[in-house]
Amino acid sequence: MNGIKKFIISLLLLYTSLCSLKASSALQTAIDNAPDGSILKLPAGRYKGGITIDKSITIIGKEDGVIIDGEGNGTVITAKGSYITLKNLRIVGSGDRHENLDAAIKLSDGKQCEISDCVIEDCLFGIDLQMMNNSIISNNHITSKKMELGLRGDGLRLWYSNDNIVKKNRLIRSRDMVVWYSHGNEIVDNYGRENRYSLHFMYAGKNIVKNNTYELNSVGIFFMYSQDTIAIGNVIKSSLGATGMGIGLKDVSNFIIKNNTILYNAQGLYIDRSPFEPGSYNHIEGNKILYNAEALHFHSLSENNIIKDNVIMGNIEDIVNDSRGSKTDENEISGNYWDKYEGFDRDGDNVGDTPHKVYQYADQLWVYNPDVKFFYGSPVISLLNFLAKLAPFTKPLFLMEDAKPQVKIKG
């Protein structure tokens, strides 16, 4: 009897194994056999990943519970070409090799594709777009593998990809969202939390970054070596660490930074050698820069920024210049509200009777010698600062002047 039981059990195990093998290859077989333009509507179930797509096809989870599992190996879905749609799928279990860019989805060399309403979990990289144009990436929820921050992969990557719409995605506990060598993209209504760079641009132009919310990241938005871009209506808050940054500008030109809210960061707005192109300007207007350790941090030569109609309130330092060559006083700064303004408005026109001038006194010695920051806020530094203003023993460094400061916040 025991021998018969063992034989029956072994047959059952073999049957289960064959069924599993059949199920694992079913999706790839269906894709291979489908003609161009086909729509595959998948019922709930677990499908083996490592699939490749090289034709115009739509794959939709027709109900919740459609899982494509990479089982810890390589990229789960590799797609190449145009008119490819992936929708309402749960994609899990990529490999963990950075040199291979193991991802949930790699999409390349095409146009007019769509990835929407997908959940991506336990994948090193999330969605990797390479040379993809005029496509839509929307309403996806993306997390990386449970690794240290620097070892995670990027949640969303655009590389040489132009004129795409990236909207209403949630990137949580990934590494970065990057837009490199990519132009004309709209990045709208996305949410990022507990990442490194929630949004990082490099060599990118004519992009629109609008109404995104980023919190609890190392850096909210950082623009590098880019031009002709608009960032409007974004909320960046609570960037983490001693150098946690809201928005950073490095070697960028002809930018519009408008109506953003930047609060609870170590550095609110970081400006490094921007604008970069001679004769160009950056417009920093109508932003709320609130309750940061530093509202505006200038590094290296940074002139020809137009900084106006901003609300600068509740920050420990309004202006920090960590390089004596930054020329902060050669920016056009006017019409801002400064809660540290010490003046009157006798004619009631909401413009201060005297300019708002900012100097660097002894309490900012830590800018050039970080060891002094240990004493920041201590009675001895406060006393030195008071004495420096009362009877300067050295000439304070003039940083900037707002000739027409607002006395009350507009609106």
Q: Quickly state the pLDDT bin for 359 (edges 50, 70, 90).
A: confident
Please tell me the distance from the alpha carbon of residue 367 to that of residue 68, in angstroms, as a whole number. 52
Q: How far apart are CA 80 and CA 77, in angstroms?
A: 10
pLDDT (tens digit per residue) in 376-408: 556 766 666 666 666 665 667 788 899 999 999
pLDDT tens profile 232-253? 999 999 999 888 999 999 999 9
What is residue 284's three-state secondary structure?
strand
What pLDDT is recorded for position 370?
60
pLDDT at 372: 62
- Eight-class DSSP state of 36: T
Tokens of 140: 């996806």
3-state secondary structure of 38: strand
**pLDDT for 317:** 86
Helices vs strands, H then E, count in the chain: 2, 40
Query: Quick count: other Cβ atoms within 10 Å of Cβ 368?
Result: 12
Query: Is the pTM higher than 0.95?
Result: no
Higher pLDDT among residues 321 and 218, named by residue: 218
Helix (H) or strand (E) holding 399: strand 397-402
pLDDT of residue 329: 81
Let me know: does 277 contact 253? Beta carbons within 8 Å: yes
pLDDT higher than threshold 70 for residue 304: yes
Q: Judging by DSSP bridges, how do beta strands 397-402 and 219-224 pair with one another?
A: unpaired
CATH among 2.160.20.10, 2.40.100.10, 1.20.1250.20, 2.40.50.100 for 34-195? 2.160.20.10
Element (H, E) at 231: strand 230-232
- pLDDT bracket for residue 365 (50, 70, 90): low
Whether 77 contacts 86, CB under 8 Å: yes
CB count within 10 Å of CB 141 equals: 17
Q: How confident is the model at residue 320 (pLDDT cuts 50, 70, 90)?
A: confident
pLDDT at position 393 is 58
Residue 4 structure tokens: 């018969």
- pLDDT for the residue numbered 301: 82
**Structure tokens, 346:** 């006798």
Q: Domain boundaries in the chain?
A: 34-195, 206-361+396-411
